[in-house]
Structure formats: structure tokens, C-alpha cells
């Protein structure tokens, strides 16, 4: 009772007392100057200033303090301007798979992105054009020399395009790169070869030398390039001996003679034994006229080429082609006669209709995939030649290598591209540029062969590369290479390379389909490029897919098709449902359909997939993606 009376008398004080800190050491806090003796305020102010200064100074661990270099006089040495602080090792740095964030890592990623932007800008200036099929009859000029003397720069200068990859790194060009040049109303072919080192026994230099020898043997004139700013090296002398024994006309181009005062130094290279010595500057273009005049003077005159008249498709031709496929019979402009004639009847050229009408003389096929999956081996097997360098070293191919194959009146141009890798896996400039150029060659092709290593299976990078082809509208054929490794067995019935049971083709195909679901329309082939097994099926599938890619469906057929489709089976949200009045095919390569609907709404992906499957079930379009465009009657946009 007395305690209760005391609480009433104290009022709020009894509640305040319960919140006061308990007896013992008071909590640490910043010293204050209010409510203290004026004689102590100066001391407290000094302490508070010291606390503020200490909070702004970065604390360093004792281990780091011990690592500081101390001079004998006790002063800490100052770091010179521009010096880079060495990276300190941390316990977590040695753990495999551990990603420890560093400011250096962030700066490194930014630097990598800047490098890739520069490479993409350079790639936008390069071209993917290749020599035409008619150019095979023209005389050939070969460019040769040791590595890093300016052969690719000269090739790009003469062709007037950036076709060959140029850089400061030696040995960028490895395969033969062909192009066309024109000078004084005369045309010729030109081939850029890799840097020749005759005595080098390493695998890739030896293969480069073999590729260069093929180009030199088929050439009508040879241009040997040397670096005018350096002394002659042993590869220059050895190559000069080989060319002198060949007996073909050789022109010595002394490159990098950028000023008039330097051109007199070209006479020092006459000791190689060549009569025609010409100072040039491939980078600045000086001396190109004298070089071309001398080369074209000894080239044989080309035979006259009779150009075929341009043939355009008529409505009757379109209707006939839609039903039976492309017609390669006599041209409508040609007249049939039973009397013998000395003039051969011209054949009707192949037609390819896309957003316009134009003549197509060949089908372009890009061979794409990860490094070291057998792309170059497949190109050699398809062409029956050693056109591309093959080695077990990943990233051997850098420039795109193309070759034309004639079969059954059809022209197929196969383009072997460089292996596509992730950005973080490419270090050299040539590797980065080759990856970007591989995608550019893919976008310029009609059909793409997606190569998968059977022994490694479908990787995440394979799915990304297939996505590039799908999004760019290229027709896709999935090719599982090295299938012989999965089925070749020993005496015990197990696979030779890993001792596992032989792979079942149906189960393997199902696994590929599960991992590449978005490419369910693409045919699947199992081949062995090294052994040449099932290579003939590649030609058949390419011809089929190229024909399906150009297929056209009339508007009447599409409207009759729409009447049979049950759109209630399509799982589409209500706000994305549209009513299709009619649809028509607007273009081919890839097949593009325009849907005339009641409202302007973006097509739901499930409805697009449903409609595409229905179209494939009725009309085919094997191996080709199908694009849709919506055109609403009322322009009011919903969603």
C-alpha cells in the first residue's frame, strides 16, 4: 500500500526510472558539450573532432599495415604517379568457382564491352560478298608472302572491300580468300593466301603453306609482298626460291613505302632475283595503278561471256511453281523449234522470290556451330576437296571460307564460318572479329547447318547459336556430327572411346529435340564428316529446305485453311484473343503471313506457336521459321 502511494506521488518518474540504463559501464556515444562544466567544453570539443576525423579515415587491417614498406628514416614512400597498385591475394581468391567482386573486375568488364563495341564497329564495315559463279573463268592473281607484311590489306585495297580480316597480329589469314577486281574494263580473280613459312613444321603453319601452294599452282600471275621497313628474313628468301622455280610471272610488291623518300629503298630488294619490283603502300593506296598495269599486261585475255536475258516470273509461272516447285525448263522468252540450230537454247534460271522478284543462281548455306565440332571437315567432305584447314586446335578457322558445288543443275555455296564463342572466351582481336563475322555470314545465307558434336551433346552455346539462326529467319538443319564415335564398338560390344554402350539414335534425337524445342521444325541428320558417311543426305535436305523456304500459298488456300482451324484449342488469354478475318502470304524466305484482325494487339506467343503448327501441318514449310504480322482494321491499339 505504501508502494502504491509512492507511485502516485512520483507520477511519471516511476516509469522513467524503468527506462534508465542499469548500473555499470555507460554506453559509448559521441561526446557532447551541452550540460557540462564550461571549463571542460573545450576538451570535449577536441574529442568530438578527433572522432569525426577517425570516421573519415579508412581502417586497414594489421596484416596490410605490416606489408607497408618503411624507409630507414621512418617515412612512408610515396607512390609514383601512374603506378598501379598490386593486387592483394585474399583467402577467397583461391577457391574454385568463387566469384569475389573487385573494382578491378568491374573495370575489366567495362573494358571488354568497350573492346567488343570497337570490334562490332569494325565488323560493320566489312562485307560478306563472295565471288560469283561466273568468275571461275577469269584469270587468277595470287598474293603471297610471309606473315604480317600486309597481304590482306593489299587484297582489301584491290577488291575495294573489307573482305579479309586485317590486324597487327601475325598469322590472321589462314585459308584462301577469293575476290574479284576490275581494272581498265578488264576483270580478274584474286586470292589472298596465309603467311607462308616454308620451314615451319608446326601443324597450322604447315597447313597454311599447303593452302597457299594450291592458290599459287592455279594462279596465272603471282604478287609476292615484302615489308619494305624491315630486312629480308629467311622465309622471304625461301619463298622467293620456290617462286623462281615455279616459272610463273612474279611481281615483287615492296609494301609500306608510305612516302616518296622511302620508295628508293625498294631497289634493295632486287637481290631476291625478281625483275618486276614495285614500291606500294597498301594502306594508303599509293602504287596500286603501276602494280595493276604490270599484272594485267601479262594476264590472258578472257573469253567473251554471253549474258543471258533477264527473265521475270509471270502469274502463270507463279501458279505453276506453287504447285510443282521451281521449274528449270526452257525460258518463256525462248522459242521452241524442231529445226536444228547452232545457238543453244538458254535454260530458265532459278528464281527466288522474297520481298521482291529477282534471279537466284545459287543457294547459300552457312555452316555454324561451336569451335572444334567439325565444320571445316564437313566443308571438305561436301566439296570433295581440302578447301579448309582442319586441325584439332579450336579456333583454327577465322575468315569465312566458301566453295560452290554444282549438283543436278543446282548451285550450292557452302560457307564455313568461324566457331562462335562467348565474349569472355575470346581474347585476340582476330578471334573477336571472326565471331562477329560468322554471325554476319549467317544472316547473309539462305540455309544454316547447325553442327553438334555427338560425343559432347547439346550444350547451352549450341542453343544460343541455333537461336541466332532462328531469330534471323534462316532455315535450319540440325546436323549431329561424329556419330561414328557413338556407334563404333570393340570386341566387348562397348564404344571404343569411352567404353559405354552404343548410343540409340531415337533416344539421342529425342534428347536433342528436348533441348532445342524452338527448332522443332528443323530436320535432324546424323553424319560422320571424317568418314564421309551420310553426306549425300545433307544435299537432299538442303535442296528440300531451300525449296520449302520459297514456297508460296495463295490467299484462297489460306482462307480455306482458316475455316478448318479450331482456334478454341489455342490457349490464349482473353485480352490477347483476336478475330482473324483472313490472312495472306506477303513474302517468302522466310515465309511471312499477314493477319487481318479486328484489333491491333501483339500476338501471344502461344497463339503464334499454335497457328504456325497448324500451317506446317497443312502446307509444310520444313526447316523454315514462319513470321506473322498483324494488320488491324481499326487502328486503335489495345494492350
Q: Is 195 part of any known ligand binding site?
A: yes
Q: Is 420 helix (H, G, I), strand (E, B) or coil?
A: coil
User: Could you give the residue ranges of the DSSP H alpha helices within 303-407?
Assistant: 315-324, 375-383
Q: Is 547 part of any known ligand binding site?
A: no
Q: Is 370 part of any known ligand binding site?
A: yes
Q: Is 255 part of any known ligand binding site?
A: yes
Q: Is 146 part of any known ligand binding site?
A: yes
Q: Is 594 part of any known ligand binding site?
A: no
Q: Is 11 part of any known ligand binding site?
A: no
Q: Do strands 351-353 and 357-359 pair parallel, antiparallel, or not at all (unpaired)?
A: antiparallel
CB distance 549 to 563 below 8 Å: no
Q: Is 329 part of any known ligand binding site?
A: no
Q: Is 40 part of any known ligand binding site?
A: no
Q: Is 506 part of any known ligand binding site?
A: no
Q: Is 185 part of any known ligand binding site?
A: no
Residue 506: how many CB atoms within 10 A of its CB?
A: 8
Grid cell, residue 66, equals 605490416
Residue 153: how many CB atoms within 10 A of its CB?
A: 20
Q: Is 87 part of any known ligand binding site?
A: no
Q: Is 373 part of any known ligand binding site?
A: yes
Is the four-CA dihedral 59, 62, 67, 68 of positive or negative sign? positive
Q: Is 258 part of any known ligand binding site?
A: yes
In DSSP notation, 300-322 reads PPPPP--PPPP----HHHHHHHH
Q: Is 490 part of any known ligand binding site?
A: no
Q: Is 7 part of any known ligand binding site?
A: no
Q: Is 376 part of any known ligand binding site?
A: yes
In DSSP notation, 142-179 reads EEE-STTSSHHHHHHHHHTS--S---SSTT---S-EEE
In DSSP notation, 268-282 reads GGGGG--SEEEE-BT
Q: Is 53 part of any known ligand binding site?
A: no
Q: Is 482 part of any known ligand binding site?
A: yes
Q: Round to whole Å and give the CA distance between 305 and 132.
A: 13
Q: In degrees rounded to 5, what are phi and psi of residue 555?
A: -65, -35
Q: Is 484 part of any known ligand binding site?
A: yes
Q: Is 331 part of any known ligand binding site?
A: no
Q: Is 369 part of any known ligand binding site?
A: yes
Q: Is 149 part of any known ligand binding site?
A: yes
Residues 597/598/601/603 CA torsion (nearest 10 deg): -40
Is the four-CA dihedral 241, 243, 248, 252 of positive or negative sign? negative
Q: Is 257 part of any known ligand binding site?
A: yes
Q: Is 13 part of any known ligand binding site?
A: no
CB distance 395 to 383 below 8 Å: no
Q: Is 620 part of any known ligand binding site?
A: no
Q: Round to whole Å and give the CA distance between 281 and 295.
A: 17
Q: Round to whole Å and give the CA distance between 558 and 515.
A: 32
Q: Cis ω on the peptide bond leading into residue 590 (within 30° of 0)?
A: yes
Which segments are annotated as binding site?
145-152, 192-196, 255-258, 369-376, 416-420, 481-484
Provide the annotated binding site for GTP. 145-152, 192-196, 255-258, 369-376, 416-420, 481-484
Amino acid at each position: 500500500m505504501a508502494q502504491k502511494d509512492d507511485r502516485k506521488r512520483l507520477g511519471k518518474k516511476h516509469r522513467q526510472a524503468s527506462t534508465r540504463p542499469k548500473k555499470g559501464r555507460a554506453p559509448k556515444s559521441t561526446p557532447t558539450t551541452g550540460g557540462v562544466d564550461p571549463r571542460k567544453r573545450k576538451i570535449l570539443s577536441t574529442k568530438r573532432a578527433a572522432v569525426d576525423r577517425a570516421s573519415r579515415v579508412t581502417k586497414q587491417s594489421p596484416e596490410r599495415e605490416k606489408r607497408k614498406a618503411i624507409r630507414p628514416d621512418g617515412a612512408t614512400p610515396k607512390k609514383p604517379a601512374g603506378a598501379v597498385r598490386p593486387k592483394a591475394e585474399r583467402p577467397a581468391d583461391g577457391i574454385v568457382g568463387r566469384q569475389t567482386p573487385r573494382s578491378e573486375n568491374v573495370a575489366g568488364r567495362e573494358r571488354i564491352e568497350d573492346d567488343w563495341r570497337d570490334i562490332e564497329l569494325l565488323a560493320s564495315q566489312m562485307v560478306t560478298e563472295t565471288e560469283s559463279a561466273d568468275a571461275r573463268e577469269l584469270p587468277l592473281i595470287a598474293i603471297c608472302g610471309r606473315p604480317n607484311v600486309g597481304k590482306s590489306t593489299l587484297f582489301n585495297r584491290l577488291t575495294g572491300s573489307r573482305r579479309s580480316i586485317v590486324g597487327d597480329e601475325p598469322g590472321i589469314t589462314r585459308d584462301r580468300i577469293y575476290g574479284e577486281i576490275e581494272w581498265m574494263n578488264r576483270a580478274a580473280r584474286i586470292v589472298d593466301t596465309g603467311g607462308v613459312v616454308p620451314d615451319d613444321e608446326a601443324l597450322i603453319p604447315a597447313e597454311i603453306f599447303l593452302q597457299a601452294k594450291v592458290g599459287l599452282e592455279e594462279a596465272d600471275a603471282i604478287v609476292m609482298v615484302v615489308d619494305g621497313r624491315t630486312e629480308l628474313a629467311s622465309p622471304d628468301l625461301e619463298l622467293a626460291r620456290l617462286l623462281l622455280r615455279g616459272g610463273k610471272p612474279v611481281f615483287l610488291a615492296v609494301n609500306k613505302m608510305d612516302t616518296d623518300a622511302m620508295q628508293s629503298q625498294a631497289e634493295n630488294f632486287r637481290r631476291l632475283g625478281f625483275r618486276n619490283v614495285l614500291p606500294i603502300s597498301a594502306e594508303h593506296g599509293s602504287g596500286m595503278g603501276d602494280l595493276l598495269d604490270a599484272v594485267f599486261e601479262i594476264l590472258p585475255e578472257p573469253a567473251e561471256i554471253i549474258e543471258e536475258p533477264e527473265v521475270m516470273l509471270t502469274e502463270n509461272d507463279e501458279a505453276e511453281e506453287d504447285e510443282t516447285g521451281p521449274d528449270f525448263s526452257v525460258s518463256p522468252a525462248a522459242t521452241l523449234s524442231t529445226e536444228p540450230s547452232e545457238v543453244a537454247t538458254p535454260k530458265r534460271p532459278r528464281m527466288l522470290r522474297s520481298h521482291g522478284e529477282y534471279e537466284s543462281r545459287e543457294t547459300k548455306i552457312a555452316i555454324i556451330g561451336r569451335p572444334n565440332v567439325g565444320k571445316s571437315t564437313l566443308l571438305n567432305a561436301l566439296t570433295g576437296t581440302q578447301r579448309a584447314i582442319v586441325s584439332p586446335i579450336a579456333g583454327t578457322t577465322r575468315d569465312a571460307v566458301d566453295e560452290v558445288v554444282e549438283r543436278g543443275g543446282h548451285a550450292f555455296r557452302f560457307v564455313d564460318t568461324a566457331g562462335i564463342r562467348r565474349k569472355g572466351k575470346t581474347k585476340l582481336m582476330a578471334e573477336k572479329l571472326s565471331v562477329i563475322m560468322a554471325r554476319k555470314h549467317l544472316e547473309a545465307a539462305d540455309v544454316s547447318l547447325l553442327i553438334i558434336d555427338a560425343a559432347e551433346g547439346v550444350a547451352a552455346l549450341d542453343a544460343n547459336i541455333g537461336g541466332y539462326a532462328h531469330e534471323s529467319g534462316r532455315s535450319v538443319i540440325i546436323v549431329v556430327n561424329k556419330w561414328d564415335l557413338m556407334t563404333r564398338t570393340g570386341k566387348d560390344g562397348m564404344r571404343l572411346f569411352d567404353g559405354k554402350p552404343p548410343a540409340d539414335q531415337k533416344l539421342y534425337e529425342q534428347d536433342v529435340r528436348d533441348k532445342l524445342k524452338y527448332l522443332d521444325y528443323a530436320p535432324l541428320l546424323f553424319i560422320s564428316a571424317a568418314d564421309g558417311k551420310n553426306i549425300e543426305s545433307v544435299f537432299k535436305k538442303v535442296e528440300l529446305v531451300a525449296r520449302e523456304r520459297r514456297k508460296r500459298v495463295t490467299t484462297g488456300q489460306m482462307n480455306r485453311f482458316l475455316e478448318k482451324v479450331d482456334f478454341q484449342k489455342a490457349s490464349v488469354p482473353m485480352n490477347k484473343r483476336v478475330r482473324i478475318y483472313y490472312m495472306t502470304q506477303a513474302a517468302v524466305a522466310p515465309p511471312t503471313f499477314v493477319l487481318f484482325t479486328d484489333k491491333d494487339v501483339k500476338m501471344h506467343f502461344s497463339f503464334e506457336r499454335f497457328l504456325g503448327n497448324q500451317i506446317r501441318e497443312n502446307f509444310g514449310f520444313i526447316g523454315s521459321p514462319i513470321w506473322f504480322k498483324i494488320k488491324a482494321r481499326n487502328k486503335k491499339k489495345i494492350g
